Amino acid sequence: MQIARLAKRLSQHRRKVAAPGNRRRHTTGTSRGRAAASPRSEPVREGSTGLRKARQDDPPPPGRGWARRGLKLGLRLGIAGTLAWALLVGVREGYAYATTSPRFEVRGLLYEPTPHVSDTRLRELMALPPGTNILSLDLDAIAARIADEPWVARASVVRVLPDSLEVSVQEHEPRAVLLLAGRLLLLDDSGVPFKTLESGERGRLPVLTGFDDVVTQGGPETWRQPVTRGLALLEAYQAKRRPRLSEIHIGSTGELTLYTAEMGSQLRLGRGEHEPALARYDALRAALGEEAEKLAVVHLDGSRAPGRPDRIVASFFPAKQAPTLVAEAQARAEQRAADAVARAEQQAQAKASKKKKSKLDKSKGVNAKGSLPKYD
């Protein structure tokens, strides 16, 4: 009985030692002595088999795992680098083909001519040589060249692939003529001079006067505010049906004086607000009826006393002298405008002669530029 019991315990101990993860063999003195009496061959085989199983189940050494991960990472990086390089080469080759291919040469121009920028003038401003590739163009630079034309306020250029350009031009809208230091300049809605007045460009525009050399010594800041005030007065005056104006004079102290075009009537508004003065003028014209056309000088700057109606001081042309006075006023206005235009033309001719002379000097020994392209 005892021998069977000891054999059972010995077999249990051997199975425990052969289990995975148990590398050390713990034995007691009793089992060690009894194991010596038993055969040595079976315990040694069972113990060696258990150790081999335990070694097979153990994880691989740490160094081998890191090497494998490094190899995989290097392989991935190599593949990614190769793909990126191939993509870069493809993009470069595609761009080189697109910017040099005859397929993308500029052949068409979509443009609606404006009153002062014709199709021929637009092509001159764009200055595109024949065979220009549409993808290699700097559209902002082309729009800037077009905007250098004095009549052009804004310009935009858009590609219409594969071979056309669409150009849109917005011109300045002249509101008045500014007589500034002996020069006649066209003004836009914002009061900015954009062009020197040339023959035939005035039309029915009024002239802003009162800006002589003494006033302009302070620079644009000195005359810009009075010009803005004069344009605001012009807009308010033209809001209703009133006689057409030929001149708006702004005095050195800020007083406003209007001159009508047909009769040459002088309307003195003073330095105050122009809206009440224009309201007095409308009331005077309504009260006079047809006689309002004979007004010579009207003082609209009077102040209203408390409890009293408005009083307007006005003078009329004599019945026999009205045509003569009107003719003289028109003749003086036309003479002033003609003198200013003549001075402007002389200055323009002088500049043109200087420019022509410089071109002749530069053209000696230098080849002339080719003609501009004609688009289909």
Predicted confidence (pLDDT) per residue in 208-222, tens digit:
998 875 555 566 777
d(CA 31, CA 92): 83
- Per DSSP, the residues of 219-237 read -HHHHHHHHHHHHHHHHHH
Percent over 70 (pLDDT), the chain: 66
**For residue 263, how far is the Cα from the chain centroid?**
47
User: What does the buried/exposed string (b/e) look like for 221-243 if buried means 16 or more CB atoms within 10 Å of the residue's CB?
Assistant: eebeebbebbbebbeebeeeeeb
Residues 327-356: what's their mean pLDDT? 71
CATH 3.10.20.310 for domain 103-171, yes or no, is: yes
Mean pLDDT check: name the lowest of 6-10, 36-40, 57-61: 36-40
Mean pLDDT check: name the lowest of 107-116, 285-294, 330-339: 330-339
Contacts of 161-164 with CB under 8 Å at 24 or more apart are 161/104, 161/134, 162/103, 162/104, 162/134, 163/103, 163/104, 163/105, 163/106, 163/107, 163/108, 163/134, 164/106, 164/107, 164/108, 164/109, 164/110, 164/134
Domains of the chain, residue spans: 2-57, 62-100, 103-171, 176-340
pLDDT of residue 13: 65
Kindly report, residue by residue over 259-283, the tens digit of the pLDDT: 999 888 999 999 989 999 999 999 9
Structure-model confidence comparison of residues 123 and 53, the more confident one: 123
For residues 337 and 207, the answer to whether their CB atoms sit within 8 Å is: yes
Please check the confidence at residue 30 and state whether its pLDDT lies above 50.
no
Kindly report, residue by residue over 285-321, the tens digit of the pLDDT: 999 988 888 899 999 987 665 666 667 888 888 764 5
Please check the confidence at residue 337 and state whether its pLDDT lies above 50.
yes
pLDDT of residue 182: 84
pLDDT of residue 374: 47
Please check the confidence at residue 121 and state whether its pLDDT lies above 90.
yes
CB count in 10 Å sphere of residue 337? 18
Residues 28-50: what's their mean pLDDT? 45
Residue 38 — very low, low, confident or very high, per pLDDT cuts 50/70/90? very low
Integer angstrom CA distances of residue 150 from 64, 93, 223, 323: 78, 42, 21, 40
Mean pLDDT check: name the lowest of 56-60, 106-110, 131-135, 285-289: 56-60
Residue 249 — very low, low, confident or very high, per pLDDT cuts 50/70/90? very high
On whether the pTM is more than 0.85, the answer is no
Residue 254 gets the label, from left (phi > 0), alpha (psi -120 to 50) or beta, of left
Residue 236 — very low, low, confident or very high, per pLDDT cuts 50/70/90? very high
Integer angstrom CA distances of residue 265 from 80, 239, 293: 86, 19, 8
Answer whether 103-171 and 176-340 agree in fold: no
d(CA 132, CA 207): 46
Multiple choice CATH, 176-340, 3.40.50.2000, 3.40.50.11690, 3.40.50.10190, 3.30.830.10: 3.40.50.11690
Structure-model confidence comparison of residues 97 and 340, the more confident one: 340
Torsion sign across C-alpha atoms 357, 362, 367, 372: negative
For residues 11 and 44, the answer to whether their CB atoms sit within 8 Å is: no
